[in-house]
Structure 1
Amino acid sequence: MNQYFAICPRGLENLLLEELRAVGAEDLRATHGGVLFAGDWSVCYRANLESRLATRILWHIVKGPYAKEEDIYRLALRQLWPNHFAVTRTLRVVTTAIKCPLKSLDYVTLRVKDAVCDRFREDCGERPNIDTRHPDVSVHVFLSENECTLYLDTSGQPLWQRGFRKASVDAPLKENLAAGILKMTGWQPGQPLIDPMCGSGTFLLEAVQMALDRAPGLDRGFAFELLKRFEALTWASIRAAAEARAKPAAPLDIRGVDIDERAVRATRRNLQEAGFGGIATVDHGDLLEIQPLNEQGVLLANPPYGERIGEQDELAAFYPLLGSALKRHWAGWNCFFFTADLRLPKLLGLKPSRKTPLFNGPLECRLFEIRMVAGSNRRH
């Protein structure tokens, strides 16, 4: 049984834990920014293929105490790296830390890289080449106050990279955060969904994949395929089962709208290139004027945060208009807004029924849920 650590955006840890349980993971424990779990290689493969929320899956190699950089070097040198991957594979070392007393994480990275290369030179007579941009294999070093943990990355490119190329507009959300937000809304496939500020269509793409029960990693490769312990037959059967489970493409009640023609074109192109053309509808329109096509459903939007000068004032003028439009047109709908602008509910003039803290990278955000009821949204 291997030990793993699945990294995810902060705020999604408990959702990720349930997702990993569904693929057979055991000994699950949510922690800051991820989930620790155990399982055989098939669990690792399924987690990489099927997780909508994880950023990457790290395989735990060793943990040990340290006081100085040389302790970390010796810990890394003792590991049998040639048993894990071939000397012909390119290598990168990544170091992260919390409350680490050492002066330079770059120096720690250098010493671990030296240790891995020295072990290869001792055992094989040659050392792997370094590639910091697109390596075959990544060693991840995590330092707490007095302990060092070494992992091997089983994912390769971050798991939010679903494998289809994307036309982008300003500040897109990462796919795993978008998927987590969708899950938090309680939206279920078959229920009407609209993103009235759809940008490059990230929410729509994630919703379509969920509705078709399509594993998010079917169009990409993974770093575990390059490790010596790779079980090709196990992986082939897991992949085939996921492909067989995916539903055939058919039009869904998933709708994107944007006031920016460029965003509409980008979303349509992204759906087309992902093989989902014609499944969701995407139209040019203004959130203040569009109307729902159903009596109820889920409205989900990621409005601009107002990070540039002058935008705060524009948003302060826009939000009351949006509040009026929601009251006028969207009675019966559950409306969700993901934003770093914590003024939003007050300026909308609507009281949120839920405020969920989430992080978009380092930026603290909120997912506001506003239930639109007929008449007034105020409780009598």
Structure 2
Amino acid sequence: MKQRFHFFATCPRGLEAVLSDELQQLGAEEVAATDGGVAFRGDWALMMTANLHSRIASRILWSLLEKPYRSEDDIYRAARALDWPELFSVERTIKVAVTGIGCKLRSLDFVALKVKDAICDAFRAAVDARPSVDTVAPDMRIHVFLTEKMLTLYLDTSGDALFKRGYRRETGEAPLRENLAAGILRLTGWQPGEPLLDPMCGSGTFLIEAALIARGIAPGGKRSFAFERYPQFDADAWARVKEAALAKERPVESISIYGSDDNAAMLSICRTNLAAAGVADCVELSRADALERSAPAEQGVLVCNPPYGIRLEEQESLAVLYPLLGHALKQRFAGWRAYYFTGDLRLAKLIRLAASKRTVLFNGGLECRLFEYRMVAGSNRKPA
């Protein structure tokens, strides 16, 4: 399908700029970032390519209509006017999700019900049957976005969120989402071949995403997508997109990605996930305390997602840990760029180092920071 369509790629807040760059590199047109995602235009092949290759997007949504509204009935009529049976078959299960910014209507749940009714009424009129609703694992996800005066209806081309790469076998507590980890790696400026270390690697999300980048492996290569269930799906075109992706994969030349953790059980989980992703030979793992870990090279990038303190005793132990982390960086990582991603904003003060950059990011609804420390001997230490 050479016709150009309007799409919207959602992403964790704070990653809109790097997602814009990524989509442009994939060939997207009319790229425009907004809060929570990036609008763009492209043909069907680009939509498939974005789903397969985007490391940062959460979903690729196909924009079906955008028009003003004043009431729930306006929304029903707009949704009812679409030719839903042309978009997917009545056997497909559906789910309608509604979000709004500045919307004055009383209930977003009621809007979801009206859109669901419009879809079912369209199918009844066309084929004398209606699709079933599945709120857990639907075949088709319909997204409704409302501002104060405008309605946008989307059909989700991704299905499961794109951070579900298909490689994660086990997790620890509150694992970092894969697309957020990939976006953070992009923000650090790290490039394949440059030494990379995660000294608190946990289940290995940073390490796996870095290894996939280094190998040129498409992040969506181990999963399926909702667009494969569309009536207009072109299996031959999709096969060509996947073949082109496989042709870009590279063998590992030398290991420059390192991970460590002081928890043997977490290292075992990390090894399982690395193997499932097909990149176990790209990463060197070791058991080590982050405070005692030495730099594996003279310079490189250290990236880390330290634990967040929820309970009081955890906050107290972290208040002790942060200055020790700063001391370890100063003693062992001169020449490195260090990045700490955390929802505990006390780190900036307690680590007693001068951050060269602070980037606001969101992990779900939690406001976080990515702190950058450029470790040049003798220049970063703050007075006690």
Which of the five TM-score ranges fits, normalised by the shorter chain? over 0.9
Identify the match of residue 149 of structure 2 among 126, 146, 150: 146
Q: Which residue of 1 aligns with 2:214?
A: 211
Q: Which residue of 2 aligns with 1:360?
A: 363
Deviates more, 1:242-251 or 1:40-49: 242-251
Alpha-carbon shift at residue 308 of structure 1 (Å): 2.0
Instruction: Determine whether 1:282 maps to 2:285.
Output: yes
Deviates more, 1:149-158 or 1:81-90: 81-90
Instruction: Determine whether 1:48 maps to 2:58.
Output: no
Q: Which residue of 2 aligns with 1:260?
A: 263
Alpha-carbon shift at residue 378 of structure 1 (Å): 5.0
Alpha-carbon shift at residue 248 of structure 1 (Å): 2.4
Instruction: Determine whether 1:337 maps to 2:340.
Output: yes
CA contact (8 A) 2:88 2:229 kept: yes
- Once the two structures are superposed, what CA deviation does each residue of 1:274-319 show, in whole Å capped at 9, x if it has no partner? 2222320111110111111211111111111212222111111111
AA partner of residue 154 (structure 1) = T
- Once the two structures are superposed, what CA deviation does each residue of 1:90-111 show, in whole Å capped at 9, x if it has no partner? 1111111111111111111111
Q: Which residue of 1 aligns with 2:67?
A: 64
Instruction: Determine whether 1:120 maps to 2:123.
Output: yes
Q: Which residue of 2 aligns with 1:7?
A: 10
% identical aligned pairs = 54
Identify the match of residue 191 of structure 2 among 185, 188, 191: 188
Within 1, Cα distance between the matches of 2:380 and 2:101? 44
Aligned residue runs from structure 1 range 129-278, under 5 A: 129-249=132-252, 251-278=254-281
AA partner of residue 28 (structure 1) = V
Alpha-carbon shift at residue 166 of structure 1 (Å): 2.6
AA partner of residue 279 (structure 2) = F
CA contact (8 A) 1:251 1:278 kept: no
Within 2, Cα distance between the matches of 1:165 and 1:340? 23
- CA RMSD in angstroms comes to 1.2
Identify the match of residue 82 of structure 2 among 57, 72, 79: 79
Alpha-carbon shift at residue 250 of structure 1 (Å): 5.2
Within 2, Cα distance between the matches of 1:54 and 1:273? 22
1:93/1:237 Cα in 2 relative to 1: closer, same or farther (>3 Å)? same
CA contact (8 A) 2:352 2:381 kept: no
- Once the two structures are superposed, what CA deviation does each residue of 1:3-48 show, in whole Å capped at 9, x if it has no partner? 0110000011011111111111111110010001111101100110
CA contact (8 A) 1:197 1:258 kept: yes
Alpha-carbon shift at residue 64 of structure 1 (Å): 1.9
- Once the two structures are superposed, what CA deviation does each residue of 1:318-350 show, in whole Å capped at 9, x if it has no partner? 111111111111111111100112221321111
Within 1, Cα distance between the matches of 2:251 and 2:124? 51
Q: Which residue of 2 aligns with 1:377?
A: 380
SS in 2 for 1:310: helix
Within 1, Cα distance between the matches of 2:91 and 2:345? 51
Structure 1 regions of 5+ residues with no counterpart? none
Alpha-carbon shift at residue 376 of structure 1 (Å): 4.0
- Once the two structures are superposed, what CA deviation does each residue of 1:198-240 show, in whole Å capped at 9, x if it has no partner? 1110000100000001110111110011112212221110110
1:292/1:223 Cα in 2 relative to 1: closer, same or farther (>3 Å)? same
Within 1, Cα distance between the matches of 2:252 and 2:76? 52
Within 2, Cα distance between the matches of 1:279 and 1:215? 16
Structure 2 regions of 5+ residues with no counterpart? none
Within 1, Cα distance between the matches of 2:121 and 2:113? 12
Q: TM-score with structure 2 length normalisation? A: 0.96
Within 2, Cα distance between the matches of 1:354 and 1:195? 19
Within 1, Cα distance between the matches of 2:360 and 2:343? 10
Within 2, Cα distance between the matches of 1:338 and 1:195? 11
Q: Which residue of 1 aligns with 2:294?
A: 291
Within 2, Cα distance between the matches of 1:326 and 1:342? 19
Aligned residue-pair number: 379
SS in 2 for 1:76: helix
Instruction: Determine whether 1:351 maps to 2:359.
Output: no
SS in 1 for 2:282: coil
SS in 2 for 1:320: helix
1:331/1:113 Cα in 2 relative to 1: closer, same or farther (>3 Å)? same
SS in 1 for 2:21: helix
AA partner of residue 210 (structure 1) = I
Identify the match of residue 312 of structure 1 among 307, 311, 315: 315
Within 2, Cα distance between the matches of 1:199 and 1:378? 28
AA partner of residue 359 (structure 1) = F
CA contact (8 A) 1:327 1:376 kept: no
